[in-house]
C-alpha cells in the first residue's frame, strides 16, 4: 500500500469476512526440526517368538535448523505394514533444542500381538515426514509349533483315554478255577529211577 508521501509500506490488517469466524494467526517459533541420524534398536525375545507384541526403540539425532528454540516438540510416530498407510500416534518429547543445536530423541514402537512381515516406522514433525525406517518382523514360529504339538498331543491323549475306557468296559470271561499244574519235568513219570 502507498502512504501519503508516496512511499510503499506494509501493514498486517485482519481481513473480516461477513458470516465467518475470526481467529488469530498461529505464532511461529522459528524452529525447524531435521533428522540427522535414525535407527531402530532392540531385538525380539522368547515371548515374541510365541506371539507377544514386538517392540523396538526408534532412536533419532535431531537438529534445530531454524532460528528459534524448539521447546517440547510434538512428533508423530507411524507404523505401516507393506503398502498400507501408516497409523499415527502423537508423542511429545520433553526438552528444548536451541537453534543450531542437536538432541537425541527416542520413542518406543510397539506392534500388535502376532504381527509379522515387512513394516515401516515413520516419524513426522508438523506435516513433514522426517524419516522412514524399515522393520522386518520375523514370524512367531512358537505359535505354529504350539499348534502342531497341540494337533499331535490332543488326538494321542484322546486315543489313550478311549483305550482305557474300552479296556474297562470290555466284558471279561469268567475266571476258571486254576489247578496247580506241575511242570513236565517234575511229574512222577519224569523222575529218574533209582537202581534197585
Residue with cell 519224569: 190
Side-chain half-sphere of 89: how many Cα atoms within 13 Å? 11
Strands 33-41 and 87-92: unpaired
Answer yes or no: are the C-beta atoms of 77 and 58 closer than 8 Å: yes
Report pLDDT digits (tens) over 144-194: 888 888 888 888 889 889 888 888 888 877 765 555 565 565 566 666 677
Query: What is the average per-residue pLDDT within 121-150?
Result: 88
For 48-90, the pLDDT digits (tens) are: 888 888 999 999 999 988 888 888 889 999 999 988 888 899 9
Higher pLDDT, 107 or 30: 107
| Residue 33 near residue 128, CB atoms below 8 Å | no
| Residue 142 grid cell | 512358537
Strands 117-125 and 74-81: antiparallel
pTM above 0.85, yes or no: no
**SS3 of 121-184:** EEEEECCEEEEEEEEEECCCHHHHHHHHHHHHHHHHHHHHHHHHHHHHHCCCCCCCCCCCCCCH
Taking the C-alpha atoms of residue 89 and residue 124, their distance in angstroms, rounded to an integer, is: 10
Give all domains of the chain, ordered by start, each with its CATH number: 33-140 (2.60.40.10)
Identify the pLDDT of residue 76: 93
Compute the radius of gyration of the chain from its Cα atoms. 41
Amino acid at each position: 500500500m502507498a502512504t501519503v508521501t508516496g512511499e510503499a509500506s506494509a501493514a498486517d490488517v485482519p481481513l473480516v469476512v461477513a458470516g465467518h469466524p475470526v481467529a488469530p494467526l498461529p505464532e511461529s517459533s522459528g524452529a525447524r526440526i531435521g533428522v540427522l541420524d535414525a535407527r531402530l534398536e532392540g531385538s525380539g525375545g522368547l515371548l515374541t517368538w510365541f506371539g507377544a507384541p514386538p517392540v523396538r526403540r526408534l532412536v533419532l539425532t535431531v537438529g534445530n535448523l531454524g532460528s528459534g528454540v524448539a521447546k517440547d516438540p510434538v512428533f508423530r510416530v507411524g507404523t505401516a505394514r507393506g503398502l498400507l498407510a501408516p497409523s499415527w500416534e502423537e508423542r511429545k518429547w520433553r526438552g528444548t533444542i536451541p537453534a543450531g543445536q542437536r538432541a537425541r530423541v527416542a520413542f518406543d514402537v510397539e506392534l500388535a500381538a502376532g504381527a509379522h512381515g515387512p513394516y515401516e516406522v515413520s516419524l513426522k514433525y508438523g506435516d513433514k515426514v522426517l524419516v522412514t525406517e524399515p522393520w522386518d518382523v520375523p514370524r512367531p514360529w512358537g505359535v505354529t509349533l504350539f499348534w502342531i504339538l497341540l494337533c499331535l498331543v490332543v488326538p494321542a491323549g484322546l486315543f489313550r483315554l478311549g483305550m482305557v475306557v474300552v479296556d474297562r468296559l470290555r466284558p471279561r470271561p469268567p475266571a476258571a478255577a486254576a489247578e496247580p499244574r506241575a511242570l513236565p519235568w517234575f511229574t512222577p513219570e519224569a523222575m529218574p529211577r533209582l537202581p534197585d
